[in-house]
A and B are shown apart, each in its own frame.
Chain A
Amino acid sequence: MKVLVPVKRVIDYNIKPRVKADGSGVETAGVKMSMNPFDEIAVEEAVRLKEKGVVSEIVAVSIGEPKAQDTLRTAMAMGADRSILVETDVVTEPLSVAKVLKALVEKEKPDLIILGKQAIDDDMNATGQMLAGLLGRPQATFASRVEVADGAVTVTREIDGGSQTVKLALPAIITADLRLNEPRYASLPNIMKARKKPMEKITPADLGVDMTPRLSVVSVAEPPERKAGIKLDSAAELVSRLRNEAKVI
C-alpha cells in the first residue's frame, strides 16, 4: 500500500524565534530551518510500516517556497521513496494546505496519509483533521501507536488524561504525536542517496487550488514578560494565598 506524508519546513526547534522589530512577524532570514519535528515522526512511522512490509511506497509532500525541497530531501533520506513539492510563495494555512493535499490524494490515491499533529511555527494543529473532513474519510489524531491489519488501521490516540483506541477503514488520515516513535537520523549515506530520488515540482494552480489565506496577521508581538510577585514569610501564608487569591488549589 501507498502512504502519503506531508512535511513542513519550519524554524528549527532549537532556535528561539525572534519577533521582528516592526511587529510584522517572526524573523526567518538567515535562520536555521528544519523539518517540523512532528512530521519527522510521521515520516518515521511510514518508514517503519515499510520496513514491516505493510507499506510499499512512501510519497513525501511539501507545500511552500522552493527551499522546502531541502525538507523533502530529508524525508527521502529518512526513507521516503519520492516526493512532490507544491511551490507557492503565498503564506500557507491549514485550510489551503488541506485543499492541496486533497487534490494530491485524489491523484495519488494513497491508502494512508500520515501527518505531524501540528507544526511548531503556527501551532495550528488542524491540517490532518481538515484533510480528513474535506475527503470525508476517517481520522485518528494524536497517534501514539499505529497498527495496520486486514485493510484497517487501529490507532491508539493520546487524549486528556489517558488514551483512546479507534479503528479506521482505509484510506484514513493519521496525525502523529510525540510518543509514536523516535525518528531516525538522516544518515550521510542516505542523504547522498536521497539526492537521486525523484522530486516532482508542481504549483497549487496545477491542482486548481486557491491559496488565498483566510487569516491575516495584524501584528506579532513578544509576550509580556512575567513580573516578579511577592515574597512571603511562611508556608501557611503561601497555602492561604494559593487557595484564596490565586485559586489554584
Chain B
Amino acid sequence: MSETPRETMEFDVVIVGGGPSGLAAAIRLRQVAPEASVCLIEKGSEIGAHILSGAVIEPRALAELLPHWREEGAPLNTPVTEEQMLYLTRNGSLEIPFLDRVMPHMNNHGNHIVSLGDFCRWLAGRAEELGVEIYPGFAGAEVLVDDSGRVTGVATGDMGIGRDGKPGDNYAPGMELRAKYTLFAEGCRGSLTKQVTAMYNLRKGVDPQTYGLGIKELWEIPREMHRPGLVQHSFGWPLDDRTYGGAWMYHFGDNLVSYGFVTGLDYPNTWLSPFDEMQRVKLHPAFRPYFEGGRRIAYGARALSEGGIQSIPRLTFPGGALIGDTAGFLNVPKIKGTHTAMKSGMLAAEALAEALAEALATDRVEPGSYTRRIRDSWLWTELRSVRNIRPAFARFGMKGGALYSGIDAMLLRGRAPWTLHTRHSDNEVLEPASISEKISYPKPDGKITFDRLSSVFLSNTNHEEDQPVHLKVRNMSLWKTVNWDVFRSPESRYCPAAVYEVADEGTDPHLQINAQNCVHCKTCDIKDPAQNIDWVTPEGAGGPNYPGGM
C-alpha cells in the first residue's frame, strides 16, 4: 500500500503494548541488561488510555521489580480493609461466611485497590527513567518476519489512510521497528498475537482459550457512603446457572467507586447482553444505595482470558515471546492478573537478557528459557493450584462450580490429581435464537442505569473518522445466514459500545458497523459465532481515552 518506503529503526527489544506486562518487561530488561535498547509502543493515545481493570492488585511482582515502590510513589493508596462475597437472588443477598477458608484465593490482605491506568502511567515513568523509549499513539499493525521465519519486529500502522483505503493528504507511512527480540504484550486477544499464534501454531495441544468480558464504570459517590478499602464481589442473580460471571465494587481514592461486571463469554443464550446485565445489577439492593446521589465519571470494557494454564499457548517462537494476558496468565478465582502479567514480563525480560548475551555465541533465535523460568516460578505454582476452578464452573454450572471450588480449596487445597479441561471455544457454545430464552432488561433511568451510547461517551472514545473500518467482517453473506438467521445478531448485544447495529431489521436486515465507537475490548473477535470478525488495529491513538482513576 505504501508508496513511500517505510523508515526503519533497530532495537535490541521491541515491546508491543504498554500495560503491566510490557512495562514490567521493559523495566526488568533495562535493570538486567542496561546496554540493551528497548522500545515500547502503545496503540492508546498515552500510556493508560486503554488500560481497564478493577483493580485490586497484589504487590508481589511489583515488590520484586521495584522494591522501593512505596518511596517512589507508586499509586497504591487504598489497602483492602474489608471484603465480601455476595450470592445474589433477585431481591436479596447472602454474604458467604468464612470467605478466607472457602475461597482462600480471595484473601486480599496486603492488596491494594488501584486505578490500573494510573499505575501503568507511573510504571511508564519508571521505565523512561531507566532509558526505555516509549511511543504511545502508535499501533503495532504488522508482524515483520524474515526469510528464515524469524520474527524481526513489528511495523506501526500507516496514518492518514482514508475510509476508501487510499492515502490522504496527511498520509504518513508506518515505521518498521526491527528488533532482535519482540515481546507481544497486547493484553487479552492481541491482534498481532493472533497472527503469530497462527504462524507458529502456538495453540497446538492446549485447551481452547476461554474469555470473560469486563464492563466497568467509575463513580464518584457521596462521602457518607464511601468506605475506602471495601471490596465486594457477587455471583448468582441475574445470570442463570449456565452463565459464569458477577459484579465487583471497590471503594478507593477520593470518594471513587470502581463498579463492574464480568460475563463469561462461554454464555450460551444469544439474547444475553453483558452490558444490560451490568446495568441492572446496579439496581440490586446490595449495590444500589452506593450509587444514589453519585455521578458516573467514566465507562469502559475489556475482554480477559479465563482459561488458566490449560489454555496457555506455547510462549515463545523464533524471535520473540508472548507475555501477560495475551498469553493468558490471569488467575481467575483470585480475579487478578496484574501481578501474574508483570511476573511473566519480568521472566521474559530475564530470558531475553540471557539470550541477548548468548546471541553472539549461539545464534539462538527462540528465547526458550522463558518457558522454563515461568514453570519454575511462583507464577506457575499459583496458576496450577487454581487450574480446575474456572473449568468446574463451565462443567457443573454456577452452583456446582461454587461447590467444587469450595471442595477444591478446603479439601484438596488446589492439589487435585486431575485437571479439568475447557473443551470448546466461546464462539462454539452460543445457542440459536430459536431455543434461547429471551431476556427482558429494564429501561435505563438516566440516573443509575444508562444506555450504551451515553456510556461510550464517557470512555472518551475517538477514532479519526476518515479511515478504513477496523472491524473486518470476512464474509458479509455469512453474517446474514449465521449471525442474523440463526442467532439474531448477538454482536448487537455483546458489544458494549454499540458498534454493531442491525439496520432495516424488518425489510432487509444488514449489519451497520459504527467503528468509531469501538473501545477495543475485542469481544467480537472472540464471540462471533462463525469467527467471521477480525479486530485489527485502527490508526494509532484511536480508541478510548480512559481518564485517571479508571
Contacts and interface: CB of A to CB of B under 8 A. Distances in A.
The answer to whether A and B touch in the complex, with CB atoms under 8 Å apart, is: yes
Interface string B430-456: 000000000000000000000000000
B121 interface: yes
B9 A29 contact: no
Interface stretch (A142-150, A153-161, A184-192): A184-192
Nearest to A18: B297
A189 B121 contact: no
Interface in B161-179: 169-170, 172-175
Nearest to A44: B170
B3 to A, nearest CB: 15
A188 B117 contact: no
Contact of B48 (A18, A27, A30, A182): A30
A30 B159 contact: no
A31 interface: yes
Contacts of A189: 7, 9, 175
Interface residues of B, number: 33
B115 interface: yes
A188 B115 CA distance: 29
B520 to A, nearest CB: 14
A21 interface: yes
Contacts of B133: 192, 195
A87 interface: no
B462 interface: yes
Contact of B548 (A12, A29, A184, A188): A29
B21 interface: no
Given A15-B545, A30-B548, A30-B549, A185 B172 contact: yes
Given A14-B460, A14-B462, A32-B45, A187 B547 contact: no
A31 B460 CA distance: 11
Contacts of B186: none
A106 B117 CA distance: 43
B217 interface: no
B538 interface: no
A187 B549 CA distance: 30
B460 A16 contact: yes
Interface in A60-104: none
Contact of B156 (A16, A31, A188): A188
Contacts of B462: 14
B525 interface: no
A30 B170 contact: no
A189 B175 CA distance: 7
B255 interface: yes
Contacts of A192: 9, 133, 135
A183 B156 CA distance: 20
Interface string A197-238: 000000000000000000000000000000000000000000
Given A184-B170, A188-B138, A12 B45 contact: yes
Contacts of A31: 547-548
A188 B460 contact: no
B426 interface: no
B172 A21 contact: no
Contacts of B117: 30
A45 to B, nearest CB: 14
Contact of B118 (A16, A30, A185): A30
Nearest to A195: B133
Nearest to B220: A21
A102 B172 CA distance: 36
Contacts of B401: none
A21 B175 CA distance: 43
Contact of A30 (B115, B169, B172, B458): B115
Contacts of A12: 45, 545
**A interface residue count range (under 10 / 10 to 19 / 20 to 34 / 35 or more):** 20 to 34
A189 B5 CA distance: 12
B49 interface: yes
Interface in B19-75: 45-46, 48-49
Interface string B275-299: 0000000000000000000000100
Given A12-B545, A16-B457, A185-B160, A32 B46 contact: yes
A154 B165 CA distance: 37
A158 B462 CA distance: 28
A181 to B, nearest CB: 10
Contacts of A188: 7, 135, 138, 156, 174-175
B121 A30 contact: yes
B45 A18 contact: no
Contacts of B460: 14-16, 32
A196 to B, nearest CB: 12
B538 to A, nearest CB: 14
A185 B133 CA distance: 19
Given A15-B460, A30-B118, A30-B549, A187 B9 contact: no
Nearest to A191: B135
A188 B160 CA distance: 13
B502 to A, nearest CB: 28
A186 to B, nearest CB: 8
Contacts of A27: 547-548
Contact of B169 (A14, A18, A21, A182): A182
A16 B462 CA distance: 11
A183 B46 CA distance: 20
A224 B307 CA distance: 48
Contacts of B255: 21
A49 B273 CA distance: 54
Given A15-B460, A15-B547, A30-B549, A187 B115 contact: no
Contacts of A15: 460, 545, 547
A183 B458 CA distance: 27
A18 B297 CA distance: 8
Interface in B525-550: 545, 547-549
14 contacts: A14-B45, A14-B545, A15-B547, A21-B255, A32-B46, A32-B547, A34-B45, A185-B160, A185-B172, A187-B172, A187-B175, A188-B7, A188-B174, A195-B133
By Cβ-Cβ distance, the 10 closest A-B pairs, closest first, are A30-B548, A189-B7, A14-B462, A187-B172, A188-B175, A185-B159, A185-B172, A15-B460, A32-B545, A29-B548
Interface of A: 12, 14-16, 18, 21, 27, 29-32, 34, 182-185, 187-189, 191-192, 195
Interface of B: 7, 9, 45-46, 48-49, 115, 117-118, 121, 133, 135, 138, 156, 159-160, 169-170, 172-175, 220, 255, 297, 457-458, 460, 462, 545, 547-549
Given A14-B460, A31-B548, A192-B9, 16 more contacts: A15-B460, A16-B457, A18-B297, A30-B48, A30-B121, A30-B547, A32-B545, A32-B547, A34-B45, A184-B170, A184-B172, A187-B159, A187-B172, A188-B138, A192-B133, A195-B133
